[in-house]
């Protein structure tokens, strides 16, 4: 057991840092800095993806033969940390982190050949069509029906909460292909082109007054059967494989430490109520320290999981644990940030933080993002399997209750 960092990793960090310094324009950094959701500004995120793709770094977590980097877990973590430090826009996850790995794991050769390069290049923009009005936590009860019609399906139904469907040209869906069996057994994983006739997209406006989610309606939409990933009626297996990536593919601690640094920077600039700066206020700084200690624990929990598994393996039910910790800690950090900015969290200025908006605003720039982040981050314990559902998984799978 030791914590020494091999010299080649230091060299790697320097290489990443230099690349980011050379390639991140002010415009791109602004998008990263002002982002208030895990889903960053589409235009800038995609522009950054193109730059990364040219360098071969768009999908560090993919196997090398499909266009990944071949980095080990430590290198991937270094890349993630440096990207955060440099305010790089985050990759939009639906293609690179969800649909891509799924096609890699369960797709046909044709699907791999066709879709993977288009995901890497950003030519295809994917959204995730799982949830329905009646099927949230109980995903297996989904009703969107794909009726067989020769070598096509005719799809009818409604998907909801579909993040960025209004930007997407593709959607990966779970649809029902058999109604006469256990709910999990009649589900198929289906790739659908958003430009197919019969699809309509309606906006859902969030608490933070931003449009991220949508409702997607399918009215007699014809989809080739060749677009099934895995086997017909075996979509639940594919979905579970993907969920592991959605939950376990990411490490939370680096972003959490980054968020805490930002809170400390705010505290150093804000005034205290009883003299000095907020950073001199013991009550506040102790709360920051408490969260930092918990994040440190999570960092080492994540490291232990990583070390035990090596690269490429799925952490299984333990991913539920890091999802619970990572999301709840991120909520506490956004809570510290709204406390730190005080009354300047109140002005409704979400328009001013849209990249390139150039609108006048009141208060310091760092206050602009605090409230929208606090509001938006409430969703992290709801999506990707709610934290109640995750606790249920641990109770069952880990504790055997």
Ligand X SMILES: Cc1cc2nc3c(=O)[nH]c(=O)nc-3n(C[C@H](O)[C@H](O)[C@H](O)COP(=O)(O)OP(=O)(O)OC[C@H]3O[C@@H](n4cnc5c(N)ncnc54)[C@H](O)[C@@H]3O)c2cc1C
* Dist CA 239 CA 292 (whole Å): 34
Nearer to other proteins, 24 or 337 (CB): 337
Is 45 within 8 Å of 31 (Cβ atoms)?
yes
d(CA 58, CA 63): 12
Output the smallest distance, CB 268 to other proteins, in A: 14
Smallest separation (angstroms) from other proteins to the CB of 361: 9
Among 56, 136, 316, 347, binds ligand X (CB under 6 A): 136
Query: Under the rule (CB under 8 A), what is the footprint of other proteins?
Result: 131, 134-138, 141, 160-161, 204-207, 209, 213, 270-275, 278, 281, 283-284, 331, 335, 338-339, 342-349, 360, 362-363, 371, 374-375, 378-379, 381-383, 386-388, 391
DSSP assignments along 56-108, one per residue: T-S-TTS-GGGT-----HHHHHHHHHHHHHTTPPPPPHIIIIIIHHHHHHH--
Q: How far is the CB of 35 from other proteins (least distance, A)?
A: 17
Q: Does 161 sit near ligand X (CB under 6 A)?
A: yes
Alpha-carbon gap, residue 111 to 103, rounded angstroms: 7
- CB-hemisphere CA count at 13 Å for 355? 19
Asked if 69 and 60 count as a contact pair (C-beta separation under 8 A), the reply is: yes
Minimum CB distance to ligand X, residue 397 (Å): 15
Of residues 213-232, those binding ligand X (CB under 6 A): 213
Q: Which two three-digit tokens encode residue 244?
A: 């592991």
Q: Which partner from the list other proteins, ligand X, none does 163 bind, CB cut-off 5 to 8 Å by kind?
A: ligand X
- Quick one: which H or E segment has residue 216? strand 211-224
Partner interacting with residue 371 (select from other proteins, ligand X, none; CB below 5-8 Å by kind): other proteins
Active site residues: 246
- Inter-residue contact 127 to 161 (CB < 8 Å): no
| Contact status, residue 107 vs residue 115, Cβ threshold 8 Å | yes
Considering only the stretches 7-15, 225-233, 252-260, 385-393, report the one whose residues sit in contact with ligand X under the rule CB under 6 A.
385-393
CB of 253 to other proteins, least distance (A): 23
Q: Given the complex with ligand X, which of 9 and 383 has the nearer CB atom?
A: 383
Minimal CB distance residue for ligand X = 136
Residues near ligand X, by CB under 6 A: 127-131, 136-137, 161-163, 213, 379, 382-383, 386, 388-389, 392
């Amino acid at each position: 057991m030791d914590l020494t960092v091999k010299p080649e990793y230091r060299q790697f960090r320097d290489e990443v840092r230099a690349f980011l310094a050379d390639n991140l324009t002010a415009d791109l950094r602004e998008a990263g800095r002002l982002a208030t959701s895990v889903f960053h500004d589409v235009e800038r995120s995609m522009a950054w993806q193109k730059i990364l793709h040219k360098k071969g770094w768009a999908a560090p977590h993919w196997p090398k033969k499909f266009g990944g980097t071949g980095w080990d877990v430590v290198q991937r973590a270094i890349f993630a940390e440096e990207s955060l430090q440099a305010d790089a826009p985050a990759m939009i996850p639906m293609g690179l982190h969800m649909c891509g790995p799924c096609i890699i794991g369960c797709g046909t050769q044709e699907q791999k050949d066709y879709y993977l390069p288009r995901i890497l290049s950003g030519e295809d923009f994917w959204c995730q069509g799982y949830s329905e009005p009646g099927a949230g936590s109980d995903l297996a009860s989904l009703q969107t029906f794909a009726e067989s019609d020769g070598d096509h399906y005719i799809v009818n139904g409604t998907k909801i909460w579909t993040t960025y469907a209004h930007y997407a040209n593709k959607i990966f869906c779970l649809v029902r292909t058999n109604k006469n069996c256990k709910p999990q057994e009649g589900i198929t994983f289906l790739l659908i082109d958003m430009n197919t006739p019969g699809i309509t997209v309606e906006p859902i406006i969030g608490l933070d007054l931003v449009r991220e989610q949508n409702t997607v309606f399918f009215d007699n939409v014809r989809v080739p059967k060749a677009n099934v990933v895995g086997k017909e009626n075996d979509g639940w297996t594919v979905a579970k494989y993907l969920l592991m990536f959605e939950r376990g593919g990411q490490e939370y601690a680096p972003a959490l430490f980054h968020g805490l640094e930002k809170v400390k920077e705010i505290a150093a600039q804000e005034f205290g109520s009883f003299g000095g700066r907020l950073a001199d206020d013991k009550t506040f700084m102790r709360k920051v320290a408490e969260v930092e200690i918990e994040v440190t624990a999570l960092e080492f929990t994540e490291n232990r999981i990583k070390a035990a598994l090596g690269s490429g393996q799925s952490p299984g039910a333990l991913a539920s644990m890091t999802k619970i910790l990572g999301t709840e800690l991120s909520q506490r950090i956004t809570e510290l940030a709204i406390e730190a900015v005080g009354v300047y969290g109140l002005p409704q200025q979400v328009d001013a933080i849209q990249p390139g908006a150039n609108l006048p605003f009141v208060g310091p720039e760092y206050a602009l993002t605090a409230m929208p982040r606090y509001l938006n981050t409430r969703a992290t314990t709801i999506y990707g399997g709610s934290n109640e559902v995750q606790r249920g998984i641990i109770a069952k799978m880990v504790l055997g209750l």
